Copies of this chain bind each other. A is one copy, B any other.
């Protein structure tokens, strides 16, 4: 658990008007240090024991989500994955790339796609989300 990330976590929480409780700081610090979207269980595994209760982690993620500090990345699994909202604009987040061979997910922050145009007919497109699938450098022989 990096000190720098804890410090940053405190600042973000303060800014968002959320209490800086120990579990909340720790969860946010994990997300600050993560290079890919994390599930509640993955976060729990990275916390220094004694880990907070499962329910607490879910509720912390909910509060972070509510204040817009993190958001859900929808991957091809049933489980929810969370990541910092900081790299994303109002209308879209970076694409996520999942390797069909090893299953690992990478954040493709260097890719920015043009916003899809509405087909008319009364549809207003506000956000778009892109998932990519293929072979990652490790698996691309």
Contact = CB atoms under 8 A, between A and B. Distances in A.
Interface of A: 72, 74-76, 78, 80, 95, 97, 100, 106, 108, 110-111, 113, 116, 118-119, 121-138, 140
Nearest to A99: B123
B122 A133 contact: no
Given A74-B76, A125-B132, 14 more contacts: A78-B78, A97-B123, A106-B123, A111-B119, A116-B130, A118-B134, A122-B137, A122-B138, A123-B134, A125-B134, A127-B132, A127-B133, A128-B131, A131-B131
Q: Is the interface of A mostly helix, strand, loop or mixed?
A: loop
Nearest to A76: B74
A132 B111 contact: no
A74 B111 contact: no
Contacts of A138: 122
7 contacts: A97-B125, A106-B123, A108-B123, A110-B119, A113-B116, A118-B134, A123-B136
Nearest to A72: B76
A71 to B, nearest CB: 11
Nearest to A97: B123
B127 A129 contact: no
A124 B140 contact: yes
